[in-house]
Homo-oligomer: A and B are copies of this chain.
Amino acid sequence: MIQSNGRKRVVISNVSPQIEGGQYPAKAVENETITVSADVFSDGHDEIDARVLFKHQDEQEWSSASMAFTVNDRWVAVLKLETTGFYQFKVQGWVDHFTTWQKGLQKKYEAGQDVNVELQIGAGLIRQAAEYAADSDKVELLNYHAGLQTQGDTASAVLTALSGELSAVMRRYRDEDLVSTYPQTMLIEVERKKAAFSTWYELFPRSAAPEPGKHGTFNDVKKLLPRVAKMGFDVLYFPPIHPIGEKNRKGKNNTLTPGSEDPGSPWAIGNRTGGHKAIHPQLGTLADFKSLVKEAKKLNIEVAMDIAYQCAPDHPYVKEHPQWFRWRPDGSVQYAENPPKKYEDILPINFETEDWENLWKELKSLVDYWIAQGVTIFRIDNPHTKAFSFWEWMIREVRKTNPDVIFLAEAFTRPLLMERLAKAGFNQSYTYFTWRNTKYELEEYMRELTKTDMRYIFRPNFWPNTPDILSPFLSWGGENAHILRLVLAATLSSSYGIYGPVYEFCVNTPHPGKEEYTDNEKYEIKHWDWDQYTRIKEIIARVNIIRKNNPALHTTWNLEFAESSSDQIICYGKADPESKNNLIVVVNLDPYNTHGAHVKIPLWQLGIRPGVPYTVRDLLSGSRYRWQDEWNYVQLNPYEMPAHIFRVEQ
C-alpha cells in the first residue's frame, strides 16, 4: 500500500484561522462572524468544491458550511457560532465532476456539437449520486437520470441538465471516498460577549471611605456602585484585597522606611493572618465581599479580582511550602530583584521547583476559591514573569468547568511574550496603547492588532493609565489629554478601562524621573471627593452610553482608518452591518490647539451613493451636519471637545 487513497486529487493548505498549527484556538465571542478560509485546488481544469465541517465540543455530529471561491484558489466560509465553548473545524475539498460536466455540456451545446453522448455521461453521474443519496432524493435523481437518457428532444434535455434544481440536489452528494481533508483539525473558542466588550473602572477599596483618614471597606465601595453604574462601567476592578505583608513593607512613594501607619502595597500579599485566600481585615469580611459582588451584579457590574502570584516574606506559603521558593546559601529566602535593585517586600515563586505539580494545583485552587465566592473576572498581575505552560494549563482547566471566567493579562513586555500569553488562553490583554500617541503610531498599532493573526488571538483592553503608568502625554496634556485619550481608548478598542479616581479628577503629577504617579495610591490611602464636578466625568459617562447604544463599538475588528488632511486629526470608521450602525470617529490628537482637517468618508462602505447628501450626527454634542461626497471638513477645539463620534444617518 503506497498511501491510504491516492485517488484524492484536491489539495488544501493555509487554513485560517490557524494558531500555532492548530495547537491553540482562535478566539471569538457568541454570534461573532468568523471567516474560515483556505487554499483549495486540484490538478487539471476540473471544477472543485469545498466545505467547512464544524462542531461544538458538546455535539456529536459535524455541521457543514459551503465554502465559496474568491480569488487565487482561496475559498472562504463565514461561520456564526452561537454557543460558548470550543468548536473544532476542518476544511474539505473535492473535484466536482457534475459541475465540470455541466459547464462542458453547455459550451459544447452552444458550439453546436452533438451532445448525445455527453447527456449519457451526465445521466451516469446522476445515477451514481442516487446511490449515495438520501432516500428522499433518490426518486428525484432517478427521474433526472431517466430524463437525460431520453433520446429525442436534446434542447429540453440540456435545459434540464443545466437547471438550478438539478444542480442543487446534485450539490448535496459526492463520492465521499474522494474527499480530501486538511490534516489538522483547528479550534475556535467561543466566549461570552463580555470577553470582547467590557468597560473597566479600577479603584482601591481602601480609599473608598467617606471620611478622610479612614481605611475604606467593601461596604464603602458598595455605596459607590450606583455612581460606577451611572458612569457606564460594567467591570469594577480592585487591586489585591488580601492581607498585606508586614515584613519589609514599603512606605509612601515606595520608600524602604514605612511608618507604623503605612498600609503597604496590596501586591505584597500575605502575612500571619493569611494569604491569597484571605481578605485584608480592614476591608471587611468574606461575607462583606460576597455581598458587594452580589450588589454589583444587580447593577450589571462584575467585580474583577487581581491575582498576583507572589508573596510577601511573611506569607504563610513560605513556611508551609518552602520548596516553592528559592533559598540562598546563607539560609535566607530569595526576594525579587533586578540587579542591583532589590525588592525585598516580594518573593517570586520558583516555577522550576521539582514540586511544580503541587504548586500548579495550589495556584489554580486560588482561582477556584474566588470563583466559588462569585468572582468571574480576574486581572492577572505580571503573567509574563510566570511560566507560560502553567497559564496554558491553569486557564484551560478553569474554563473547562467555568467557561464564563475571563482572564486579563497585565503584561507590559516584549511583543512575542504578550502574544504568547494570549495564545496560552488569556481572554483580554493590556496593550501598548498607553504609549501610542501620534496618528502614525495609532494607525500602525491598530493595523497590527486588527489586520494580522493577532485579531484571532489577542483581545486588546485599552488603558490610558494604570496605578503603575502615568504617561507623559497625560501628565503634560492635562484634562484635554485625558479626554482625548479616553475617547480613543473607548472607540478604537471594544474593551477599555481607566484607573478611575485619578483619571476622573485629572491627578497627573509624575514621580520625578518616572512615568508613574507621585504619592502613589499603591503605597498610601487616598480620599476622593466623589461629588466634585469635572468636565471629563460628564464626557466619560456620555462615551460609555454611546458605546452601549452603538453595536459598531462592540467589536475591535471592524476598525477602518479613513484619510485626513492633518497629522493631528485621526479619523476612523466602525460599522456593524447587521444593525446598519455606522460610526465615524474623528479625534484631535493635539491637547493644546484647535485643528481642522478634511476627512475622507468611505461612502461605498457605508452604502452612500456619491452626490447624495447624508447626515452625520455627533453623538457627543448632539449636533447634526449635512454632508455630501467624500471629503468633508471638521474642526476640533480641545478645550471644548477634542472629538466627534458621528453616527451616519441617511
**A residues apposed to B, CB below 8 Å:** 1-3, 6-9, 11, 13, 20-21, 39, 41, 43-45, 72-73, 95, 103-105, 107-108, 110-111, 113, 117, 120-121, 124, 178, 184, 328-330, 332, 337-340, 348, 351-354, 356-357, 360, 384-390, 393, 414-417, 420
Contacts and interface: CB of A to CB of B under 8 A. Distances in A.
A243 to B, nearest CB: 26
A330 B117 contact: yes
Contact of A387 (B43, B121, B387): B43
A113 B389 contact: no
Q: What is the copy number of this chain in the assembly?
A: 2
A339 B72 contact: no
A133 B251 CA distance: 47
A360 B5 CA distance: 12
Contacts of A11: 388, 420
A9 B388 contact: yes
A72 B9 contact: no
Contacts of A73: 414, 416-417
Contacts of A110: 340
Contacts of A330: 117, 120
B338 A6 contact: no
A124 B121 CA distance: 81
Given A356-B7, A357-B2, A111 B414 contact: no
Given A7-B351, A11-B388, 12 more contacts: A6-B351, A6-B356, A6-B387, A7-B354, A45-B338, A45-B385, A72-B414, A72-B415, A104-B339, A111-B339, A121-B328, A124-B329
Contact of A178 (B6, B43, B352): B352
The A interface is mostly helix, strand or loop, or mixed, namely mixed
A107 B339 contact: yes
A6 B41 contact: no
B393 A360 contact: no
Contact of A340 (B107, B353, B386, B387): B107
Contact of A6 (B20, B95, B120, B357): B357
A635 to B, nearest CB: 40
A337 B108 CA distance: 11
Contacts of A393: 2-3, 6
Given A13-B420, A21-B21, A416-B39, A389 B108 contact: no
A337 B44 contact: no
Contacts of A337: 104
Contacts of A353: 7
Contacts of A360: 2, 6
What 4 pairs between A and B have smallest CB-CB spacing? A111-B340, A120-B329, A107-B339, A104-B339
Contacts of A107: 339-340
Of the listed residues A356, A384, A387, the one surrounded by the most CB atoms of chain B closer than 10 A to its CB is A387
Contacts of A104: 337, 339
6 contacts: A9-B387, A9-B388, A44-B384, A44-B386, A72-B415, A111-B339
A11 B95 CA distance: 41
B8 A389 contact: yes
Contacts of A329: 117, 120-121, 124
A117 B330 CA distance: 7
Contacts of A39: 416
B420 A384 contact: no
A415 B417 CA distance: 35
Nearest to A100: B339
A40 to B, nearest CB: 9
Contacts of A1: 357
A597 to B, nearest CB: 33
A121 B328 CA distance: 7
Contacts of A416: 13, 39, 41, 72-73
A41 B413 CA distance: 12
Contacts of A184: 21
A404 B14 CA distance: 31
Nearest to A11: B388
Of the listed residues A6, A13, A357, the one surrounded by the most CB atoms of chain B closer than 10 A to its CB is A6
B352 A7 contact: yes
